[in-house]
Amino acid sequence: MVNRSSFQSHITEPTLFALNLPSNVGQHNLQQMFKEFSVTRITLKETTQSPRSSTKENWRRQREPGSRSAQIQFSDIVGAEKAFATRNRRPIPQISPTVTLHLSTTPDLASVPKGPVHPHFVKLLPPNFTDEQLYDLLRPFAPLLSARVDESLGGIVQFWTEDEANAAETAVKAAFSRTSKITLRAYNPCKLFCTNIPHDVNATTLKEFFKECGSITSARVISKPDGQRRAFGFVDFSTPDEASNAIKRHDGAVWQSRKIAVRYSESKPKKKEPPIAEHAQPEATPLDPSSPTPSDTSTVNDPDASNTPKDKTPLPPEVQADLLESLLAQVKEAKEAHALEVSTLKGQIATLEQERDELMEKVVAGETALQNKILSAEVETEGWIRRLDELQARSRNLEKDYRRDTDQLKNQRDAVREEQARLEGLLEQAESERDDWRREFLVAESRCKILELEADRPRWEEAKKAREQREREAAEKLRQKEVEESQRRMRELRAQEEQRKLEEKRQREREEAARKAREAEARAQRERERVKDEARQEAWKKATAAELARCRTRDALLCGRGPWNDILAFTRFSDVLDEFESIKFSEAQPLAFENIPWPVLDYRTISTFACCQGVTWEKVEEFFTYVARSRSTETYNRLVEKVHRMFHPDKWRSRRILDTVQDAELRKSIERAGNVVAQAVTPIWRRTR
């Protein structure tokens, strides 16, 4: 195998840089990702960003890229190179949402080559192959930019330069041609090969089928020389991500009752082509440049067939050369597709041969194991037969011994039965004699007890009298103690009852004193509140009188201009409107009926206490009809908007202007009139919207 040292590494320092890391990526996450490598140090660096006040924004900023960068120091360049190939563009573990790691050999992304080096498939890998094993397998042939194992596509590697990729293809083919048959084939990550497509599909419908996956640069369906379309074609996307998305969405999908297969288009090894003679017809193609027969490929960007000249006038040499080159390119593309299909079939044949060899090995191994089991079973059967003969002989001997022992036991049983019958007779005789002796003993014992009682009668009668006397004395002492205890308890209960009555009396006296104090305090509080209310009412009356005098003086100056008319009514409304919005009403300057800019024309006919009857819906509409007739539309709309907002009940509640009116009847009257104005202005305001 080729020595690793024969290829110069593109990484010159054992240091890698991780860029554009979110703030929630910590050092432990990177240590977990590089735990299989000899990392000496990991340094995280924060990127300065302006703070945000919102906690939600800070949480979102922690998951945005660009908050951090990291410097990973390895013990040698070999470990750094392997980590770059197997960990770059991989998800960082234990981070949600998923964050992809972007590695570089410099503090920026300039270390990644920008040349169009296509990735390569690594086919016929053993099962459960890892990224690290794939890197160790192919690194001796050339430096690797990336090495990963995909579950569905298999091994995928990418080299730093095109020359290194070509050299690696040749070396891998020579190294594994007779052993594990591992192959290395380049593919275009933006170009897809589609097979088993319906026969009526052309380039336009093929492009339409894949248009939801991304931007398609070209689409073509391969055709036979006779113009009949074949069941495969090619689709080119703008980016590799769009091509990968197309494989995920459409590989194995059903299209017109056909299950199509979508995979990357493998690149053929580049060969030097022989020069083409000018104006020569390509070999093995039946197409004529002047014939309208369908071309070898159907392309979305092909010119319309109607633009082809139908006459047989000879074309200029330059046009014929271009047509020949186009036909040659089409034939070459068809050959490439055919070669690709042949290569795919060869790969499948190689896979089937390998599976056949494995199955044959398994069959041979199974037959060998079966023969060994049969031989073992035969040997074991012979052993069991010998064992069975021994057991049968032993069983016959045991049967003879059993019969002999059975006869002996029968004789012994008969002798024991006879002895048992004799002993039972003796036992019955002994029990009869025992019962006779027991009866005689009981009679004698009864006579002895009677005689003893007769002899001890005076003594136990005396003892009985003494015992009764002691019991009477003990009962008398107990009764005396109970009487004394009852008397003591009665004295304690009387003392407790007297103490309880005394406490209840004191409690009643305290409650009575507290009640009288509360009543006195309540009377004093009511008196203070009465005096305060009277003073407040008097102050309000004075402030209201002053405010009424001011408003009447203002209205008198206005009335002095001449007879009352609509112009004076509108002038008063405008003046009072500005004044009403600027005044902050309070108890020192309470609200009065004259303070409010009532939108009516006959204001002087409205009395203060009859304002609810004087301010009506019809008068409000009459006022705004006059304004609409005498003022511009813009002025009218602004005035309607202003009055609608000013007389809105919520506006009055927020300003608390009705709270400054202490006269309940006046307050209710003003509130009813304000509601009438608000209800009348609302439909007028809606018509101006």
pLDDT in tens, 320-348: 666 676 677 677 777 777 888 787 888 77
Cβ-based neighbour number of residue 567 at 10 Å: 13
- For 206, residues 6+ apart whose C-beta sits below 8 A from its C-beta are 194, 197, 219, 220, 221, 233, 235
Cβ-based neighbour number of residue 586 at 10 Å: 13
Tell me the H-state helices in 112-151: 131-138
Q: Residue 507 is encoded by which pair of tokens?
A: 């409690």
Amino acid at 399: E
Q: Residue 603 is encoded by which pair of tokens?
A: 């204001």
For residue 222, pLDDT over 90 is answered with: no
683 or 275, which is more confident: 683
CA angle 364, 365, 371 (to 5 degrees): 90
Closest CA relative to residue 39, chosen from 91, 135, 128, 103: 103
Most distant pair of Cα atoms in the chain: their distance: 174
What pLDDT is stored for residue 111 in this prediction?
A: 54
Q: Residue 313 is encoded by which pair of tokens?
A: 């006038």
Domains of the chain: 1-112 (3.30.70.330), 561-687 (no CATH)
**15-21 β-sheet, strand order:** 39-46, 68-74, 15-21, 102-104
What pLDDT is stored for residue 290 in this prediction?
A: 37
In whole angstroms, give the CA distance from residue 614 to residue 607. 8
- For 684, residues 6+ apart whose C-beta sits below 8 A from its C-beta are 621, 624, 640, 644
What pLDDT is stored for residue 298 in this prediction?
A: 40
Question: What percent of the chain shows pLDDT beyond 90?
Answer: 20
Phi-psi region at 196: left, alpha or beta (left = phi > 0; alpha = psi -120 to 50): left
Note the pLDDT tens digit of each residue in 343-402. 788 877 878 877 887 787 788 888 788 878 888 888 888 888 888 888 988 888 888 888
**Contacts made by residues 348-355, CB under 8 angstroms, sequence distance 24+:** 350/124, 350/181, 351/124, 354/124, 354/181
Least confident of 36-40, 273-277, 529-533, 584-588: 273-277
Four-point Cα dihedral 465, 470, 476, 481, nearest 10: -170
In whole angstroms, give the CA distance from residue 122 to residue 143. 15
- The residue with tokens 């995928």 is 156
DSSP 8-state code for residue 595: G
Note the pLDDT tens digit of each residue in 489-517. 999 999 999 999 999 999 999 999 999 99
Q: How confident is the model at residue 427 (pLDDT cuts 50, 70, 90)?
A: confident
Rounded mean pLDDT, 471-499: 91
Q: With contact defined as beta carbons under 8 Å apart, do 544 and 591 qualify? A: no
For residue 585, pLDDT over 90 is answered with: no
What pLDDT is stored for residue 387 in this prediction?
A: 86
- Backbone φ and ψ of 48, nearest 5°: -65, 130
What pLDDT is stored for residue 562 in this prediction?
A: 77
What pLDDT is stored for residue 316 in this prediction?
A: 56
Closest CA relative to residue 594, chosen from 583, 607, 581, 612: 607
Rounded mean pLDDT, 146-175: 87
In whole angstroms, give the CA distance from residue 187 to residue 234. 13
Note the pLDDT tens digit of each residue in 62-112. 445 556 889 999 999 999 989 999 988 889 988 888 888 888 888 876 555
CA angle 216, 219, 220 (to 5 degrees): 175
Averaged confidence pLDDT in the chain: 81
Rg (alpha carbons) of the chain, rounded to whole number: 59
- DSSP 3-state of 80: helix
- For 570, residues 6+ apart whose C-beta sits below 8 A from its C-beta are 601, 626, 627, 630
Q: Is the N-terminal amide bond of 303 cis, ω within 30° of 0?
A: no
CA angle 594, 600, 601 (to 5 degrees): 105
Q: With contact defined as beta carbons under 8 Å apart, do 39 and 16 qualify? A: no
- Backbone φ and ψ of 217, nearest 5°: -85, -35
In whole angstroms, give the CA distance from residue 70 to residue 188. 33
CA distances from 652 to 314, 579, 584, 591 (A): 96, 15, 12, 11
Burial of residue 316, with CB atoms counted within 10 A of its CB: 0-12 exposed, 13-18 middle, 19 or more buried: exposed
Q: Residue 188 is encoded by which pair of tokens?
A: 């275009």
**Contacts made by residues 161-164, CB under 8 angstroms, sequence distance 24+:** 161/113, 161/115, 161/117, 162/115, 162/116, 162/117, 164/7
Q: With contact defined as beta carbons under 8 Å apart, do 243 and 191 qualify? A: yes
Q: For 470-527, give the secondary structure using H, E and C.
A: HHHHHHHHHHHHHHHHHHHHHHHHHHHHHHHHHHHHHHHHHHHHHHHHHHHHHHHHHH
DSSP labels, 13-39: SSEEEEEEE-TT--HHHHHHHTTTS-E
Q: Residue 14 is encoded by which pair of tokens?
A: 């054992």
CA distances from 408 to 218, 395, 401, 412, 422 (A): 110, 20, 11, 6, 22
Q: Which residues pair with residue 158 across a beta bridge?
A: 146
- Backbone φ and ψ of 103, nearest 5°: -100, 155
In whole angstroms, give the CA distance from residue 111 to residue 107. 9
